[in-house]
Each structure stands twice: as C-alpha cells, then as structure tokens.
C-alpha cells in the first residue's frame, strides 16, 4: 500500500482496515453498520477501555505499529481476563495524522487483530478520525461464562496472594531501550509486546479467587488497589518473588535493583489474585504473599513487613519518567 492516510481518505482507510479482520462465532454483526452485535451468552457483558498516545505510551522509533497494536489490545484484553471473563470483542477508536503513511494504521490493525486472536476475541468496529497525535482508544468486551466477576474488593484476611505471568520484564526492557540499547531482546520484546496470561483470569475465577487484577501499574501499586478496595493489608515475601538471573545482569549494568522492576514495573499484565488459603493452585501460579486484617487506618501493601518506599506505579499527570514514556 502506498501513500499517506490523507491520500487514502477516511473511507479508503476504513476499507483497508476492515478487510484485514478475522471473525469468531461470537460476532453476530461485525464492522460496517451503525454498531456491532456480539454474543453475550452469560446475559452480562464485561467492558473496559484504555487510551494510548504516541510519545506517552509508545514511541514509533521503539515499537512498530504492529507491536503498538498488540500492546493496545493486550492491555484491554488483560483487564477483561482480570475480571475472570473470556474476551469476546474489541472496538478501536483511532486518531491519525493525514501525513502518516497508510501502512502504519494497517499494521496497527494487524497487531490488534492478532492479539485478539490469541485471546479468542475479534475486532468488531471502530472509528477513524484525523488529528495531530496518534491516539489509540481500545474498548474490549468479554463474557463471564456464568461465573461471578472477580473484583478487587473480595480479599479476606488469611487469603494468599498468587501471581502468574511476567513481572518486571517490560520495565527492564524500557530501561534498556531508554539507554539506547536494543538488547537483551527478550526484555525489549517484552516491553514492545506483552504476553498476558489471558487463560489465567477465568481459571482463577474457577479456582475460587476472592479478588483479582492485572498488573498494569506495577505489582505493589495494583495490589494497593486490592488492599484499598478490600480493606486489608497485603504483605509480599521478596524471597518468593522470582528475579530472573538475566534481569539481575541488566540491573547491574544499568544500576537498578531488579526487584524494583519486578515490584513496580507495569505493562506486563501479569494476573495477581487473592485465594483462600486452602485452594490448591496449579504450578503456573506463584504464591508471593498473604492478606491480613488492616493494622492501621489505611490498608497497606508491604514487602517483608516493611513499606516498599520506592516509587510504585505511575500517575499520568505527574512527572514524566525521564524518557517520556509511561512504563
């Protein structure tokens, strides 16, 4: 495909984008009408939305359009999974400059489509408008399959905290990229394209999880949301939190305690949940902490019994990290 999105025109671009999509049996009416129609066999639908902006959530010199698509879809699909639901559909609101090469939104759509396929979902609709800053607004829908939604507010004293998926890999990859390196590839790839354990969300619901979230702002920050919503304290045991040897090497090279990435790095979209103490967890889950009645007025997350005093999570309106991209 040649030329810019301006040359292709709105309808030309929409044609190119929709032509590349795949479908699933859950899609009753796909793109092209006033709205899409998607199966919601559970009689409830789970819905979430996230916005990514160029320069803030991704950089075109660090990530391909395809990777941005994978990532934009992944972070929304992970939110669906973190409710215990199975993702069904994605809608895309896209802002693109007229002088952007038309291949960029097309490859973005390929990435969104492929990530949807990994999660069992399909792109069912969207909107494309012209604007100065590339903006990717993704909405994801899912089905609870007749199970209760697992919110952040159900954790009880005595529960254990377990996690599955990657922790700190994206943050380590960002640290590498922001220092001008392109390797180790495994971490750079993890930053460009997270691999949330979608299956783990519904599986945790089935296992009896009492509270659950995906790690998008960082483990300590996201567990803080569970602690606050559930009115409990959570203590993590650092000895039980795996820090891969390769991550320790990078940490040494760039002068960062790798445990910091593991505890505060977001965007890998691991799934973390509270479970009653007697629940037997499959091997993919690592028990990393426990839930207690709140000791003070404000529910807290501690590491080995002490406050984790390094910055946790991000506030989008606060200071930018040095590199200008949210980690």
Going by their DSSP bridges, the two strands 306-307 and 301-303 should be labelled as: antiparallel
Under the criterion CB under 8 A, does residue 24 sit at the interface with a second copy? Answer: no
Under the criterion CB under 8 A, does residue 116 sit at the interface with a second copy? Answer: no
- Residues in contact with a second copy, counted by CB under 8 A, come to a total of 74
Q: How far apart are CB 258 and a second copy at their closest, in Å?
A: 27
Closer residue to a second copy (CB): 45 or 281: 45
User: Binding a second copy by CB under 8 A: which of 3, 41, 277, 282?
Assistant: 41
Q: Are 205 and 84 in contact (CB under 8 A)?
A: yes
Q: How far apart are CB 284 and a second copy at their closest, in Å?
A: 20
Going by their DSSP bridges, the two strands 86-96 and 122-130 should be labelled as: parallel
Q: How far apart are CA 327 and CA 325, in angstroms?
A: 6
Q: Is 48 annotated as a binding residue?
A: yes
Task: Tell me the per-residue interface mask from 91 to 110 with a second copy, x by CB under 8 A, - otherwise.
Answer: xxxxx--x------------
Q: How far apart are CB 122 and a second copy at their closest, in Å?
A: 12
Q: How far apart are CB 305 and a second copy at their closest, in Å?
A: 26
Q: How many CA atoms lie within 13 A of 58 on its CB side?
A: 26
By CB neighbour count within 10 A (0-12 exposed, 13-18 middle, 19+ buried), where does 315 fall? Answer: exposed
Q: Is 214 annotated as a binding residue?
A: yes
Among the listed ranges 3-11, 156-164, 183-191, 253-261, the one in contact with a second copy (CB under 8 A) is 3-11
Closer residue to a second copy (CB): 13 or 250: 13
Q: Which of 230, 236, 195 is nearest to 212 (CA)?
A: 230
Number of Cβ within a 10 Å radius of residue 134:
21
| Phi, psi for residue 132 in degrees, rounded to 5 | -75, -30
Under the criterion CB under 8 A, does residue 119 sit at the interface with a second copy? Answer: no
Q: How far apart are CA 318 and CA 327, in angstroms?
A: 13
Closer residue to a second copy (CB): 51 or 254: 51
By CB neighbour count within 10 A (0-12 exposed, 13-18 middle, 19+ buried), where does 218 fall? Answer: buried
User: Binding a second copy by CB under 8 A: which of 16, 18, 24, 45?
Assistant: 45
Interacting residues with a second copy between 245 and 304 (CB under 8 A)? none
Task: Give whole-number Cα distances, 223 to 10, 212, 258, in Å.
Answer: 42, 9, 19
Closer residue to a second copy (CB): 148 or 240: 148
287 DSSP β-pair partners = 162
Interacting residues with a second copy between 206 and 225 (CB under 8 A)? 212-214
Closer residue to a second copy (CB): 89 or 243: 89
Under the criterion CB under 8 A, does residue 235 sit at the interface with a second copy? Answer: no
Under the criterion CB under 8 A, does residue 234 sit at the interface with a second copy? Answer: no
Contact partners, residue 148, CB within 8 Å, separation at least 6 = 84, 205
User: Binding a second copy by CB under 8 A: which of 59, 101, 130, 237?
Assistant: 130
User: Binding a second copy by CB under 8 A: which of 64, 103, 128, 302?
Assistant: 128
Under the criterion CB under 8 A, does residue 202 sit at the interface with a second copy? Answer: no
Task: Give whole-number Cα distances, 268 to 63, 71, 96, 171, in Å.
Answer: 15, 10, 26, 8
Q: Is 110 annotated as a binding residue?
A: no
Interacting residues with a second copy between 140 and 199 (CB under 8 A)? 140-142, 144, 149, 151-153
Q: How far apart are CA 311 and CA 59, in angstroms?
A: 23
Under the criterion CB under 8 A, does residue 125 sit at the interface with a second copy? Answer: yes
Question: Which residues define the annotated binding site for substrate?
Answer: 57, 267, 314
Question: Which residues define the annotated binding site for Mg(2+)?
Answer: 34, 48-50, 79, 127, 214, 217
């Amino acid at each position: 495909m040649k030329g810019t999105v301006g040359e292709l025109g709105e309808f030309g671009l929409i044609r190119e984008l929709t032509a590349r999509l795949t479908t699933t049996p859950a899609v009753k009416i796909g793109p092209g009408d006033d709205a899409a129609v998607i199966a919601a066999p559970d009689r409830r639908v789970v819905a979430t939305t996230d916005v990514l902006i160029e320069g803030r959530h991704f950089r075109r010199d660090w990530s391909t359009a395809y990777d941005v698509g994978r990532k934009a879809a992944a972070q929304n699909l992970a939110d669906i999974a973190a409710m215990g639901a199975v993702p069904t559909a994605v809608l895309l609101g896209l802002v693109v400059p007229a002088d952007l090469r038309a291949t960029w939104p097309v490859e973005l759509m390929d990435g969104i489509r492929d990530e949807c396929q990994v999660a069992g979902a399909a792109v069912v609709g969207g909107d494309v408008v012209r604007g100065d800053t590339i903006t990717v607004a993704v909405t994801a829908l899912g089905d609870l399959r007749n199970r209760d939604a697992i919110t952040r507010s159900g954790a009880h004293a005595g529960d254990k905290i377990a996690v599955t998926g990657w922790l700190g890999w994206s943050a380590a990859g960002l640290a590498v990229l922001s220092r001008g390196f392109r390797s180790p590839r495994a971490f750079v790839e993890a930053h460009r394209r997270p691999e949330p354990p979608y299956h783990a969300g519904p599986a945790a619901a089935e296992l009896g999880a009492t509270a659950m979230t995906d790690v998008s702002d960082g483990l300590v920050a996201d567990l803080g949301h569970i602690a606050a919503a559930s009115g409990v304290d959570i203590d993590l045991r650092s000895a039980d939190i795996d820090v891969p040897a390769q991550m320790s090497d990078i940490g040494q090279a760039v002068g960062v305690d790798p445990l910091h990435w593991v505890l505060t790095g977001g965007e890998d979209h691991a799934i973390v949940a509270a479970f009653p103490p007697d629940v037997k967890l499959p091997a993919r889950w690592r028990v990393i902490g426990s839930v207690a009645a709140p000791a003070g007025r404000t529910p807290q997350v501690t590491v080995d019994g002490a406050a984790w005093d390094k910055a946790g999570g991000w506030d989008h309106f606060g200071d930018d990290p040095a590199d200008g991209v949210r980690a």
